[in-house]
């Protein structure tokens, strides 16, 4: 018999209760936040501090040598920006290096070669089980004990390593760059138009003939086009442009010893190098474990089937095991990327002027700790959320297969 | 012997031994399979029958004795192992299809990567095989999207795509729902009539009686009886074989 729902008293009606609990929960959170906010305002008032963002536009009054050009007459806001760029620089390069090193050690740890797997195990266990601060404080002095500038370790007269850091050659835009970049721009525009046109043509005409389940989406057509159409068009434009431009667009700048220091090329400071090594080594130990777990999650039968069709061990790994391990690896890998980005704030211990270190300096000069820490928290949050959004997108893209319909 | 069987030996096993740690799984198997022969291997679980056919393409390493497949000795020579694996196709109990690839890509992986066939030629061959397996319409689906019986037929097509001289079947119907067993057995029957050398580990005694040239009965790591199906089922010599036949035929 159908029960008339209007007869249920509201305190027993599941539908009402569900909403009610959520409303009570939200009100509770708001009250709690309000309490802390009032408390903070009271505290600040007692200390005679007024909340304001004016300090952002005032002169910084300190020097920064790392990253973008900055001197003491620039604003605090620009100092923040220098910090953001430094944090991004060490995080992005660190994530790139840690991923490669981590994959190598993760795969090595599963090697049937005793020496290789034990070496990988020792690496992972040492660097995973000691605090990162300790590791950074170990690498930094090690770099400072490298040879003096005049006795630099020299690779092919292009790469120099000394106690002031690492010097690498770099490409610098030259006279022809202003002309060349128009070729690049037109290459991009033509590529976009052609790819969109082709994707639309395929989507609306060609793909209609395919069976529904086998029909590629508009986005996958664009990705396919980007790979096979856009890239060749862009490269052609770049190469043609390079030869049609009368002047050279880029010159190679090699580091050269002038007076007491090297000039030209790019320079990684000892602080940056120590942070990069520290973050890479520490995070790669965790990534190695993530990769190992991912590979081990692929059942034994998959390897056996791959071997039975005659694939070599390297092909078994590359074509069968890794593609199935990736969806398992990506979510924990994302956590490791986020950890690396946040751990870059430990740069403050060796005076690597990342976002957090700069916030501390500004905090020491002004009394605006609340907005300062709100700003850096927001910055890290944006950085982290962007990273995880990208990784989630990537994860969705690669895990379409195997879902039973 | 069937009409396709020749007198040329294709697999020669001599005194094959295998241990898993202390457990002696294979205790000296000596036998020869001829080109075109269909052998059914049966026996209770743990008797070593699966391990035996897995030694033939080196999914398991034998520790004593010799195995020669199509004139190539299985040793620790990596090149020999790879050559033999190209000549020997295998079908597993759990299908072991690659879940990240569509059915057709499961089939073309070996021919493209190992035989260096062109993508187009490999796909045409794969579609022909799927047609033969009666599942051409499933080519562009993923394994998880089709039934167990269809998956096992894709797995057979994957093994056949390498154009092997020998096919090994390791309990190919044991993981299937009852109504899907016959569709897989039909395909195997058709394959048997085409003259393929087949070693089949199975509990399907009806299939064995109908298709096999020889039935080998394994128990505790040795072949205790081998005979043509008629002899095997009607005049079993060993008590152990009689017990096994009476138990399996009850079902």
Pairing of strands B72-73, B23-34: unpaired
| Helix or strand run (H / E) with residue A203 | helix A177-204
Query: Residue A371: is its pLDDT beyond 60?
Result: yes
> What stretch of H or E contains B188?
helix B178-193
Flag whether pLDDT at A3 surpasses 60. Answer: no
Is residue B41 within 8 A of residue B218, CB to CB? The reply is yes
| Average of per-residue pLDDT across A355-379 | 86
Please tell me the predicted confidence (pLDDT) of residue A132.
Answer: 93
Alpha-carbon distance of A95 to A320, in angstroms, equals 25
pLDDT of residue A211: 61
pLDDT at A402 over 50: no
Yes or no, beta carbons of B109 and A323 under 8 Å apart: no
Q: What is the pLDDT of chain A when averaged over all its residues?
A: 85
A404 pLDDT tier (thresholds 50, 70, 90):
very low
Q: What is the DSSP letter of A154?
A: E
What is the model's pLDDT at position B251?
Answer: 54
The nearest CA of chain B is from the CA of A319 a distance in Å of 9
Question: Rounded to whole angstroms, how far apart are CA atoms B96 and B89?
Answer: 13
User: Considering only alpha carbons, which residue of chain B is nearest residue A324?
Assistant: B100
| Digit-coded pLDDT (tens) for B124-152 | 999 999 999 989 999 999 999 999 999 99
- Among chain B residues, CA nearest to A318: B113
For an interface test with A, which of B96, B160, B167 has the most A Cβ atoms less than 10 Å from its Cβ? Answer: B96
Contact A310 B86 (CB under 8 A): yes
Min distance A393 CA to chain B CA atoms (Å):
18
pLDDT of residue A4: 58
Residue A255's pLDDT is 77
Q: Which residue has the higher pLDDT, A195 or A336?
A: A336
Choosing among 1.25.40.10, 1.10.3720.10, 1.20.120.1760, 3.40.50.300, the CATH entry for A77-142+268-404 is 1.10.3720.10
Q: What is the pLDDT of residue A308?
A: 93
Report angle CA B166, B167, B168 to the nearest 5 degrees: 125
Antiparallel, parallel or unpaired: β B222-227 and B214-219: antiparallel
- Widest distance between CA atoms in chain A: 96
Residues A302-309 have a mean pLDDT of 94
* Mean pLDDT (whole number) for A2-12: 70
What is the residue extent of each domain of chain A? 77-142+268-404, 182-252
**Cβ(A307)–Cβ(B82) under 8 Å?**
no
Token reading at B67: 């195995």
Confidence of residue A276 (pLDDT cuts 50, 70, 90): very high
Residues from B contacting A (CB-CB < 8 Å) are 57, 59, 82, 85-86, 88-90, 92, 94, 96-101, 109-110, 113-114, 140-145, 155, 158-159, 161-162
Q: Which residue of B has its CA nearest to A213?
A: B141
Going from the C-alpha of A377 to that of each of A49, A55, A92, A277, A382, the distances in angstroms are: 21, 18, 18, 25, 9
Local structure of B56: helix, strand or coil: helix
- The per-residue pLDDT for A159 is 80
At A319 the pLDDT is 92
pTM: 0.77
Point out the residue among A309, A311, A324 whose CB comes nearest to the CB of B100: A324
- Answer for the pair B215, B228: CB distance below 8 angstroms, yes or no: yes
Closest CA to A166 of A265, A99, A96, A250: A265
Residue A364 corresponds to which tokens in the numbers above? 């020491």
Question: Is residue A172 within 8 Å of A253, Cβ to Cβ?
Answer: yes
Residue of chain A minimizing CA distance to B90: A308
Distance CA B107, CA B30 (A): 34
Residues with Cβ within 8 Å of A290's Cβ and at least 6 positions away in sequence, in order, are: A102, A106, A329, A332, A333, A336
Structure tokens at A229: 């159409």
Report residue A213's pLDDT band, with 50, 70 and 90 as the boundaries.
low
Q: How confident is the model at residue A405 (pLDDT cuts 50, 70, 90)?
A: very low
Contact B96, A305 (CB under 8 A): yes
Both tokens assigned to B239: 């008590």
- In chain B, DSSP assigns E strands to 9-20, 23-34, 38-42, 64-69, 72-73, 88-91, 166-170, 197-201, 214-219, 222-227
Mean pLDDT of B190-204: 91
Q: Is-contact B28 B15, C-beta < 8 A?
A: yes
pLDDT at B66 over 50: yes
- How crowded is residue A25: how many other Cβ atoms within 10 Å of its Cβ? 10
Q: How many beta-carbon contacts under 8 Å exist across A and B?
A: 74
pLDDT of residue B67: 93
Task: Give, in order, the Cα–Cα distances in Å from B227 to each of A341, B1, B41, B56.
Answer: 70, 11, 11, 21
- Measured CA to CA, the distance from residue A327 to residue A333 in angstroms comes to 10
Q: Which helix (H) or strand (E) holds B161?
A: none
* Nearest CB to A312; choose among B82, B97, B142: B82
Indicate the residue of A304, A311, A324 with minimum beta-carbon distance to B114. Answer: A311
If DSSP codes are grouped into helix, strand and coil, which group holds residue A290?
A: helix
Averaged pLDDT for residues B48-73: 91
- Helix/strand/coil for A315: helix
Across the interface, whether the CB atoms of B140 and A211 are under 8 A apart is answered yes
| Chain B residues near residue A302 by CB distance under 8 angstroms | 96, 98
Query: What is the distance, to the nearest Å, from the Cα of residue B67 to the centroid of all Cα atoms in its chain?
Result: 16
pLDDT at A2: 54
Residue A365 pLDDT: 83
Q: Find the closest chain B residue to A323 by CA distance.
A: B100
| Contact in structure between A310 and B85 (CB atoms under 8 Å) | yes
pLDDT above 90 covers a percentage of chain B that reads: 63
Please report residues of B whose CB lies closer than 8 A to that of A215.
Answer: none
Facing residue for B114 by CB, picked from A305, A310, A401:
A310
What digits encode the pLDDT tens for the residues B73-109? 988 888 888 889 999 999 999 999 999 999 999 999 9
H or E segment to which residue A402 belongs = none
B37, two tokens: 């022969």
pLDDT higher at A333 or A203: A333
Short-list B233, B243, B203, CA closest to B42: B203
Which residues does chain B have within 8 Å of residue A211's beta carbon, measured at their own beta carbons? 140
Which residues have CB under 8 Å from A353's CB, separation 6+? Answer: A64, A65, A66, A67, A82, A83, A86, A271, A347, A361
Q: Which of A316-320, A357-361, A400-404, B89-93 has the lowest mean pLDDT?
A: A400-404
Instruction: Check whether A293 has a pLDDT greater than 90.
Output: yes
Residues on A contacting B at a C-beta cutoff of 8 Å: 211, 213-214, 301-302, 304-312, 315, 319-320, 323-324, 401-405
B94·A301 Cβ contact <8 A? yes
With contacts defined as CB-CB under 8 Å, which chain B residues touch A298?
Answer: none
The kind and range of the H/E element at A103 are helix A76-109
Q: Locate tokens 């187009």: which residue?
A: B120
Tell me what the mean pLDDT of segment A356-371 comes to: 85
A229: DSSP letter: I
* Residue A299 phi, psi dihedral angles, 5° rounding: -65, 155
| pLDDT tier, A129 (very low <50, low <70, confident <90, very high otherwise) | very high
Write down the pLDDT at residue A364: 85
Is the CB of A404 less than 8 angstroms away from the CB of B145? yes
Mutant choice from B50, B53, B98 vs A, greatest count of A C-beta within 10 A:
B98
CB B148 within 8 A of CB B177: yes
The whole-number average pLDDT for the span A151-179 is 78
Are A304 and B162 an interchain contact pair (Cβ–Cβ within 8 Å)? no
Partners of residue A300 in chain B, C-beta under 8 Å: none
pLDDT of residue B124: 92
Q: In the prediction, which pLDDT does B78 show?
A: 83
Contact: B100, A401; criterion CB under 8 Å: yes
Closest residue on chain B to A322 (Cα): B100
| pLDDT for B244 | 87
Rounded to whole angstroms, the Cα distance separating A372 from A308 reads 61
Rounded to a whole number of angstroms, the distance from the CA of A326 to the nearest CA of chain B is: 11
Residue B100 and residue A404: Cβ atoms within 8 Å?
no
- CB contact under 8 Å between A323 and B100, yes or no, is yes
Q: Which residues of B touch A303 (CB under 8 A)?
A: none
CB-CB contact of A370 with A44 (8 Å): yes
Nearest to B199 by CA among B153, B250, B158, B165: B165
CB < 8 Å to B113, chain A: 311, 315, 319
Range in A11-15, B42-46, B169-173, B239-243 the model is least confident about: A11-15
pLDDT band at A210 (very low <50, low <70, confident <90, very high): low
Q: Which of A161-170, A292-301, A396-405, B162-171 has the lowest mean pLDDT?
A: A396-405
Rounded mean pLDDT of A253-269?
A: 76
Distance CA A99, CA A340 (A): 11
- Quick: pLDDT tens for A95-110: 999 999 999 999 999 9
State the pLDDT at residue A370. 84
* Residues of A whose CB is below 8 A from B104: none
Residue of chain A whose alpha carbon sits nearest to that of B94: A301
């Amino acid at each position: 018999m159908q029960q008339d729902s209007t007869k249920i008293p509201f305190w027993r009606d599941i539908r009402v209760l569900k909403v009610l609990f959520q409303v009570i929960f939200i009100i509770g959170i708001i009250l709690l936040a309000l309490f802390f906010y009032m408390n903070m305002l009271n505290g600040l008032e007692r200390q005679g501090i007024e909340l304001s963002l004016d300090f952002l536009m005032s002169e910084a009054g300190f020097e920064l040598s790392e990253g973008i050009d900055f001197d003491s007459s620039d604003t605090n806001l620009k100092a923040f920006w220098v910090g953001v760029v430094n944090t991004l620089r060490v995080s992005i390069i660190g994530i790139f290096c840690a991923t490669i090193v981590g994959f190598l050690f993760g795969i090595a740890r599963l090697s049937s070669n005793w020496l290789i797997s034990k070496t990988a195990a020792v690496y992972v266990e040492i660097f995973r089980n000691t605090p990162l601060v300790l590791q950074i404080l170990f690498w930094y002095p090690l770099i400072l004990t490298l040879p003096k500038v005049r006795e630099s370790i020299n690779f092919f007269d292009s790469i120099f390593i000394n106690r002031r850091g690492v010097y690498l050659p770099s490409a610098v835009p030259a006279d022809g760059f202003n002309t060349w970049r128009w070729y690049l721009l037109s290459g991009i525009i033509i590529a976009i138009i052609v790819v969109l046109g082709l994707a639309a043509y395929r989507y609306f005409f060609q793909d209609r003939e395919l069976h529904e389940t086998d029909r590629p989406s508009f986005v996958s057509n664009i990705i396919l086009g980007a790979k096979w159409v856009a890239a060749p068009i862009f490269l052609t434009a770049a190469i043609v442009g390079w030869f049609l431009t009368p002047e050279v667009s880029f010159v190679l700048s090699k580091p050269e010893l002038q007076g007491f220091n090297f000039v030209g090329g790019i320079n990684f400071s000892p602080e940056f190098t120590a942070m990069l090594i520290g973050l890479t080594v520490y995070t790669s130990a965790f990534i190695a474990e993530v990769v190992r777990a991912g590979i081990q999650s692929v059942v034994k039968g998959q390897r056996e089937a791959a071997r039975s069709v005659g694939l070599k061990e390297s092909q078994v790994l590359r074509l069968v095991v890794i593609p199935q391990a990736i969806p398992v690896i990506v979510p924990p890998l994302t956590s490791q990327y986020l950890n690396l980005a946040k751990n870059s704030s430990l740069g403050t211990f060796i005076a690597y002027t990342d976002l957090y270190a700069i916030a501390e300096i500004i905090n020491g000069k002004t009394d605006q700790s609340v907005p300062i820490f709100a700003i850096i928290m927001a910055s890290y949050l944006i950085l982290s959320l962007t990273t995880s959004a990208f990784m989630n997108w990537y994860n969705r893209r690669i895990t379409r297969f195997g879902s039973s319909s | 012997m069937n009409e396709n069987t020749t007198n040329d030996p294709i697999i020669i096993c001599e005194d094959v031994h295998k241990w898993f740690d202390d457990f002696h799984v294979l205790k000296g198997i000596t036998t020869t399979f001829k080109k075109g022969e269909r052998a059914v291997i049966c026996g209770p679980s743990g008797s070593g029958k699966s391990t035996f056919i897995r030694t033939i393409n080196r999914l398991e390493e034998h520790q004593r004795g010799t195995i020669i497949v199509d004139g190539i000795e299985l040793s620790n020579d990596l090149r020999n192992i790879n050559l033999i694996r190209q000549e020997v196709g295998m079908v597993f109990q759990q299908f072991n299809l690659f879940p990240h690839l569509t059915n057709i890509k499961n089939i073309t992986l070996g021919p493209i990567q190992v035989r260096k066939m062109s993508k187009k030629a490999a796909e045409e061959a794969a579609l022909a095989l799927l047609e033969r397996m009666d599942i051409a319409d499933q080519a562009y689906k993923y394994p998880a999207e089709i039934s167990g019986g269809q998956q096992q037929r894709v797995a057979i097509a994957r093994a056949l795509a390498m154009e092997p001289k020998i096919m090994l079947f390791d309990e190919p119907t044991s993981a299937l729902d009852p109504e899907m067993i016959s569709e897989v057995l039909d395909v195997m029957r058709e394959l048997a009539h085409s003259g393929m050398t087949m070693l089949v580990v199975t509990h399907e005694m009806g299939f064995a009686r109908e298709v096999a040239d020889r039935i080998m009965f394994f128990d505790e790591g040795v072949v205790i009886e081998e005979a043509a199906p008629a002899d095997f089922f009607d005049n079993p010599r060993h008590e152990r074989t009689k017990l096994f036949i009476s138990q399996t035929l009850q079902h």
